[in-house]
Chains A and B, each alone.
Chain A
Amino acid sequence: MNPLDPRLHQALDGDGPGGNLPPALERQRARLEQAAVLLATGRESPSVAARVMATVRHPLPARRARLLRWLFTPRAIVLRIRPAWSLALAAGILLVSLLPAPGPQLPLGAEEGIAQFVARFPGARSVSVVGSFNDWQPDQIPLEDRDKDGVWRGVVVLPAGTHEYMFVVDGERWVPDPLAGRYVEDDFGRQNSLLIVRAEKR
Chain B
Amino acid sequence: MNGSELSDADIVARVLGGDQEAFGLVIKRYEPGLMRYAARMLGSWDAAADAVAEGLVRAFRHLASCRDPARLRTWLYRIVSNRCKSHLARRPTGDVSIDDVPPMADAADNEAALERAEQMAQVERALETLSAEKREAFLLKHVEGLSYEEMAAVTGERVPTLKMRVHRAREALLAALEEMEESEDP
Shortest beta-carbon distance from B65 to chain A in Å? 5
B123 adjacent to A35 (CB under 8 Å): yes
- Over the window 36-58 of chain A, the binary record of Cβ atoms lying under 8 Å from chain B Cβ atoms (1 yes, 0 no) is 10111111011111011101110
Q: Contact check: which of A40, A46, A57, A188 meets B49 at CB < 8 Å? A: A46
Q: How far is B83's CA from A42's CA once the two chains are assembled, in angstroms?
A: 20
Q: Contact check: which of B60, B123, B138 meets A52 at CB < 8 Å? A: B60
Q: Contact check: which of B23, B27, B40, B62 meets A39 at CB < 8 Å? A: B40
Q: Which residues of B contact A39 (CB under 8 A)?
A: 36, 40, 123-124, 127, 139, 142-143
Shortest beta-carbon distance from A125 to chain B in Å? 15
A32 adjacent to B143 (CB under 8 Å): no
Q: Contact check: which of B57, B60, B171, B177 meets A31 at CB < 8 Å? A: B177
Shortest beta-carbon distance from A88 to chain B in Å? 34
Interface membership of B103, Cβ < 8 A: yes
- Over the window 18-33 of chain A, the binary record of Cβ atoms lying under 8 Å from chain B Cβ atoms (1 yes, 0 no) is 0000000000100111
B171 adjacent to A56 (CB under 8 Å): no
Q: How far is B87's CA from A136's CA once the two chains are assembled, in angstroms?
A: 21
Q: How far is B167's CA from A13's CA once the two chains are assembled, in angstroms?
A: 10
Q: Which residues of B contact A57 (CB under 8 A)?
A: 20
A48 adjacent to B123 (CB under 8 Å): no
Q: Which residues of A contact B58 (CB under 8 A)?
A: 187
Q: Which residues of A contact B35 (CB under 8 A)?
A: 42, 45, 48
The chain B residue sitting closest to A189, CB to CB, is: B156
The chain B residue sitting closest to A43, CB to CB, is: B103
A187 adjacent to B79 (CB under 8 Å): yes
Interface membership of A149, Cβ < 8 A: no
B61 adjacent to A137 (CB under 8 Å): yes
A42 adjacent to B39 (CB under 8 Å): yes
Shortest beta-carbon distance from B134 to chain A in Å? 11
With A4-B167, A38-B119 as contacts: A49 and B175 at CB distance below 8 Å:
no
Q: How far is B174's CA from A3's CA once the two chains are assembled, in angstroms?
A: 10
Q: Which residues of A contact B28 (CB under 8 A)?
A: 49
Q: Contact check: which of A1, A48, A135, A138 meets B52 at CB < 8 Å? A: A48
Q: Which residues of A contact B61 (CB under 8 A)?
A: 135-137
B65 adjacent to A42 (CB under 8 Å): no
The chain B residue sitting closest to A174, CB to CB, is: B65
- Known contacts A32-B173, A42-B35, A190-B65; can you find 19 more A-B pairs with CB under 8 A? A31-B174, A32-B142, A32-B174, A38-B116, A39-B36, A39-B124, A39-B139, A42-B39, A45-B39, A45-B49, A48-B53, A52-B60, A53-B21, A53-B23, A55-B57, A136-B61, A171-B64, A174-B65, A188-B79
Q: List 21 A-B contacts (CB under 8 A).
A: A1-B175, A4-B167, A8-B170, A9-B170, A31-B174, A31-B177, A34-B119, A38-B116, A39-B36, A42-B32, A42-B36, A46-B49, A47-B31, A48-B31, A52-B53, A53-B27, A136-B61, A187-B58, A187-B82, A189-B78, A189-B156
Interface residues of A (CB under 8 A from B): 1-4, 8-9, 12-13, 28, 31-36, 38-43, 45-49, 51-53, 55-57, 135-138, 168, 171-172, 174, 187-190
